[in-house]
């Protein structure tokens, strides 16, 4: 039994290493095909999903790392990363950013600064997707026209826990932390820990 276990673990490790290397190359090629402005040091476990309008812009800084597989980030409810950039929109990711299985949907502008860590299955939206008026939602053109969109900005050194949802118009200040499964609906000042649904202040990081 120990021999079988040894063979299984060894072969699994070899397969995973080979797949990680192959998927990293394929993900890099995919980024280039979609004309993503990509810095140095890109690393991807698995292959992300990209939906980019030809008139949208997606830029990524140096040392960008993403996990798109269960083995890359085994925390449950895992999925591949999704990056969607709509017509005329800007998605900008800084240096030394790490993301696992997140969905980032950009209809206007989303800026993620340097040294940000984004936990598994986080969703970041800068749009309501539909009008809040029921009559508008019954008319496609009016629904699109009256859907609210607002820029999202995540400052340097922010840590976002797993399964967080960040909604349109939110600014998260530098060094702040968002607890797992939170829904962020309003601005978070720098150096604070927020959590809950809706997210609220738990404590200031410099507090005793």
- The total number of structural domains in the chain stands at 1
> What mean pLDDT, rounded, does the chain reach?
90
- What percent of the chain is modeled with pLDDT above 70? 85
| Res 79: pLDDT | 75
Statement: residue 91 has pLDDT above 80? yes
Closest CA to 98 of 108, 77, 111, 112: 112
pLDDT value of position 131: 93
Q: What is the pLDDT of residues 10-56, one digit of tens each?
A: 565 555 666 667 889 999 999 999 999 999 999 999 999 999 999 99
> CATH number for the domain including 160?
2.160.10.10
> DSSP secondary structure string, 65-120?
EEE-STTTS-SSS----EEEE-TT-EEEE-SS-EEES-EEEESSEEEE-TT-EE-T
Which of these, 106, 18, 118, lies nearest to 66 by C-alpha position?
118
pLDDT of residue 189: 98
* Active-site option among 53, 107, 130, 146: 130
The string of pLDDT tens digits covering residues 150-190 is 999 999 999 999 999 999 999 999 999 999 999 999 999 99
Residue with tokens 């053109």: 141
Domain of residue 15, residue span: 2-204
- Spatial separation of the C-alpha atoms in residues 154 and 174, rounded to whole Å: 8
Nearest to 132 by CA among 168, 166, 85, 105: 168
Give CB contacts under 8 A, 24+ apart, made by 180-185: 180/119
pLDDT of residue 7: 52
pLDDT for the residue numbered 19 = 62
Q: Which pLDDT does position 84 carry in this prediction? A: 97
Active site residue 53: no
According to DSSP, the residues that pair with 112 across neighbouring strands are: 93, 154
pTM score, two decimals?
A: 0.87
Q: What's the confidence (pLDDT) of residue 63?
A: 98
Q: Give me the sign of the Cα torsion angle 147, 197, 71, 111.
A: positive
* pLDDT at 78 > cutoff 90: no
Average pLDDT on 200-205 reads 95
Q: Look at residue 80 and tell me whether its pLDDT is greater than 90.
A: no
Ramachandran sector of residue 2 (left: φ over 0; alpha: ψ -120 to 50; beta: rest): alpha
């Amino acid at each position: 039994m120990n021999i079988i276990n040894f063979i299984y673990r060894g072969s699994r490790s070899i397969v995973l290493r080979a797949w990680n290397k192959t998927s990293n190359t394929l993900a890099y090629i995919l980024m280039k095909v979609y004309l993503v402005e990509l810095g140095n040091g890109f690393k991807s476990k698995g292959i992300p999903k990209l939906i980019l309008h030809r008139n949208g812009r997606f830029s990524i800084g140096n040392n960008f790392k993403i996990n798109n597989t269960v083995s890359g980030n085994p925390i449950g409810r895992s999925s591949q990363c999704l990056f969607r950039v709509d017509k005329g929109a800007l998605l900008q990711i800084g240096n030394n950013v790490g993301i696992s299985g997140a969905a980032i949907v950009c209809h206007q502008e989303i800026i993620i600064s340097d040294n940000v860590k984004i936990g598994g299955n986080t969703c970041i939206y800068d749009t309501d997707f539909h009008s809040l008026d029921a009559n508008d939602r019954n008319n496609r053109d009016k629904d699109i026209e009256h859907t609210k969109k607002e820029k999202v900005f995540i400052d340097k050194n922010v840590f976002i826990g797993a399964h967080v949802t960040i909604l349109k118009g939110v600014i998260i200040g530098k060094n702040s932390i968002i607890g797992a499964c939170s829904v962020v609906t309003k601005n978070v000042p720098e150096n604070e820990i927020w959590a809950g649904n809706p997210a609220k202040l738990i404590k200031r990081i410099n507090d005793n």
